[in-house]
Chains A and B, each alone.
Chain A
Amino acid sequence: MSSGTIAGVTAPAFTPTAATLETAIAFLAQHPGHGGAVDAATRREALARYEALPAPGARPSRGWKYDYANLPFEDLSWTSDRRSVATSPFAAAAPPDASGADHPALQTASAGGLVHLGATLLHLRPAQHDMPEAASRRDARVVILPLADAAGAAEPALMRALDTIVDWRGDKFTALATAFQNCGAFVYVPDGVQLDEPIQLVFAGAPDDEAVFPHVVVVVGNGARATVLERHVGAGDPFVCGIVEAHVGEGAQLDYAVVQQAGEAARLMFTRGARCDRDGQVRWHLAELGGALARTVLAARLDAPGGRAEASALFFNTGTQHVDLLSGVDHTVGPTTSDTVVRSAATDRGQGRYVGNIVIRPKAHGSDASLRDDALLLSKRAHIDSIPALEIAANDVKAFHGATVGSLDEDALFYAGTRGIARAEALRLITLGFFEPVIARFPSEALRDEVRSALDRKLDDATELGA
């Protein structure tokens, strides 16, 4: 059994049971400022909800080895700590033993952000940027806080958004995340503030395997613009089950990018949701690259005219990786627009599923939705299911969806071959090109190159290519 120490107390082994929860609640009662933004009663309610709800779906396909109803929770510990909150630059403050916390990514965070090692908050760096016009207004400060602190201070922007975007009662794993919430972040970009540098939220796998339950709330004020980069790195093999809520104000823009490069035995279950006010735009960018199992829900609700949601996601499963990706856009009013692009590939015994839903409700006249997903299978034992669905209840809308599942284009390999490009190199170029429509939408060239390099390394590591 794995264990850690929280404030001098041995961290309990984690199981999704009342016994673990009561230990956690007792600990949090004695340690204000830890945990997150959930009170004890809600935690108990959430655990009851977790127990009552069915597991999401059966196994998606033949060969899928995980059963959501019977996920093993062995050798995990639950902890909540803020051992060494540093406000200095990340690189300088990174302790030498913190696996993952010296990730080069941390050295590039110039706008600010926070770093968790497991559930332990390691570093916090406030945003530093020039806001000459807004500097005199107290409400114009960019806020990056541990969720517990923001909730403790009852930050008004947090209170307006918290638990209003993702309904934790609706899904077994969001209920679990709420019951055991042990870390999180609140990011607030005030009205009119335009951030050029991304705010980074880094979740590094703890050396001792931990059960980590983050809750992130991002609020982008009216007319503001921000990029948030959520990274998962590190050597540990945690179970991470979290919620991200993003509220995009009127005319505001949020790019929210997730680059998941967790340890190879990590399991990650995330539900991320956004709501856009009038003319607000959210752009989800998701690269699922690491871990053994990743289940991700990406959702956007457009309930004010002019709202727009883009979702661009990719995964590339090698070895025995499993990724289960579900995206949903809910057009509740019109005119609103959405554009979803998913590229997935699998080789070796990788398994994947993509479920894409677009709902255009009766009042969403004049809306425009597009959903496109393509899957590439690079070995005989790899499998990807693709299930796009459109539900349209309004007239006068434009909706498109298309899906393909295919193997490598032998004609393209031959064509490249006739130019002197050897098969392995051609395969690499063609596969990287396959992901490019999703990569091209990531919000910076540095990030695009990082994703390309990560995919390239995965191609190097894959044992079967083009079988």
Chain B
Amino acid sequence: MTSTETAPTETALAATHAPVTDYPVDDAVLDIRDLHVVPLAEPGREILAGIDLTVRKGEVHAIMGRNGSGKTTLAYALMGHPGYRVTHGEVIWKGLDILKLSPDKRARLGLFLAFQYPTAIPGLSVASFLRTALNARRRGLADGDGEIDPSDMTRGGIKMGEFRTLIRETMALLKLDDAFAARYVNEGFSGGEKKRLEMLQMAMLKPEFAILDETDSGLDIDALQSVGNSVNALRHSDEGKDIGFLVITHYPRILKHVPADLVHIMIDGRIVKSGGPELADEIERDGYDAVRDEVAATSV
């Protein structure tokens, strides 16, 4: 088997080990270095066993792997899920080791996670939720004294009219009914509606780095197309062209709608192979077992 030392040898493009100071602080490069993660409830079981990955601005990287390979744990660890503990490694974004930051601060620095299973928040409307989130995003890392205080309309929060226009336009783009905004967040939503709400949030919050966790799972072809359109519309917009994407998926089909620049195969908490888009076709043709066998054969 590969070890953390040998794993990234042929993935040089993806796993550039550059010191953080080499990047200008405002450069949108996400750099994951030797990331080890355990679940809080079971600290003896390492789910991520040394992930190295660098995503530069405007790039789309796909992480492919079977269920249980650690894909979602990677997404959660990047966003700071309280159920996981990072035992080793760092994640550098905008010159900061974001592992030291709370999830909301990571989001306000421009990170975004589209959940595989978005959580319902009963009694809270999509509009209220989004408005609060948008104000937080605009405030950035400034604390309460910042120019924008989301709880205070008079202190620079987005004006109601501006917000209404923005949400209506974005919903129209995603072919979402106006009534969608008044519904409670993810409560009683179908699988497709949940994924479209994730896309609505992404489109409105305008992240600089977005992780899509199995956004294709459970979607019919139309919904998948719509997700693809959302991502591509964002990527091809002026403000979205620099967004880095980490597309986590089990199946290659989403990559037909959101073409990846680089594909990484994850097995047992490690990236065992990286390559161009053709790697996804290889997985589709030969399956994950073939990659596993190949990696086992080439490891020292």
Query: Which A positions have Cβ atoms within 8 angstroms of B?
Result: 409-412, 414-423, 425-426, 429-430, 432-437
Contacts and interface: CB of A to CB of B under 8 A. Distances in A.
Nearest to A428: B151
Interface string B212-231: 00000000000000000000
Max chain A CB contacts within 10 Å: which of B79, B106, B129? B129
Contacts of A417: 79-80, 102-104, 107
Interface stretch (B5-13, B88-96, B114-122): B114-122
Contact of B113 (A412, A418, A423, A436): A418
A420 B106 CA distance: 7
Contacts of B115: 415, 418
Contacts of B128: 429
Interface string B121-154: 1111000110011001101000000000011000
Interface in B260-274: none
A422 B118 CA distance: 18
B81 A414 contact: yes
A52 to B, nearest CB: 45
B102 A421 contact: no
B118 to A, nearest CB: 7
A422 B129 contact: no
A404 to B, nearest CB: 12
B76 to A, nearest CB: 8
Contacts of B82: 410, 414
B209 interface: no
B79 A418 contact: yes
Contact of A411 (B102, B119, B123, B129): B119
A436 B182 CA distance: 13
Contacts of B81: 414
Interface string B100-114: 001110111001110
Contacts of A409: 119, 121
Contacts of B122: 433-434, 436-437
A415 B121 contact: yes
A453 B129 CA distance: 17
Nearest to A426: B104
A433 B121 contact: yes
B123 A422 contact: no
A437 B123 CA distance: 7
Given A410-B83, A420-B137, 17 more contacts: A409-B119, A412-B121, A414-B81, A416-B104, A417-B103, A417-B104, A418-B112, A419-B104, A419-B137, A420-B104, A420-B107, A420-B133, A420-B136, A421-B104, A423-B104, A425-B151, A433-B123
27 contacts: A410-B83, A411-B119, A412-B119, A412-B120, A414-B81, A415-B115, A415-B119, A416-B104, A417-B102, A417-B104, A417-B107, A418-B79, A418-B111, A418-B113, A419-B136, A419-B201, A420-B108, A420-B137, A420-B139, A421-B104, A429-B124, A429-B132, A433-B124, A433-B184, A436-B123, A436-B184, A437-B122
B296 to A, nearest CB: 36
A434 B124 CA distance: 8
**Size category, B interface:** 20 to 34
Contacts of B79: 414, 417-418
A257 B121 CA distance: 27
B38 interface: no
A196 B129 CA distance: 33
Contacts of A436: 122-124, 184
Contact of B123 (A410, A418, A432): A432
A415 B150 CA distance: 18
Nearest to A456: B151
A56 to B, nearest CB: 32
Given A416-B129, A429-B132, A422 B120 contact: no
B131 to A, nearest CB: 11
Nearest to A422: B104
Contact of B103 (A412, A418, A432): A418
Contacts of B129: 416, 419, 429
Contacts of A435: 123
B93 to A, nearest CB: 14
Contacts of A425: 132, 136, 150-151
A420 B205 contact: yes
A212 to B, nearest CB: 34
Given A425-B150, A429-B124, A432-B123, A415 B133 contact: no
A429 B125 CA distance: 10
Interface in B46-104: 79-83, 102-104
A354 to B, nearest CB: 18
Nearest to A434: B123
A426 B184 CA distance: 15
B102 A418 contact: no
A418 B136 CA distance: 11
Contacts of A426: 104
B102 A423 contact: yes
A71 to B, nearest CB: 35
Contacts of A420: 104, 107-108, 133, 136-137, 139, 205
Max chain B CB contacts within 10 Å: which of A418, A436, A437? A418
Contacts of A415: 115, 118-119, 121
Given A411-B119, A429-B121, A436-B122, A418 B107 contact: yes
- 6 tightest A-B CB contacts, nearest first: A433-B123, A436-B123, A417-B103, A420-B136, A419-B133, A420-B107
B69 to A, nearest CB: 22
A425 B132 CA distance: 9
Contacts of A432: 123-124
A416 B123 contact: no
Contacts of A422: 102, 104, 136
B121 A430 contact: yes
B168 to A, nearest CB: 19
Contacts of B83: 410
A373 to B, nearest CB: 14
A466 B285 CA distance: 49
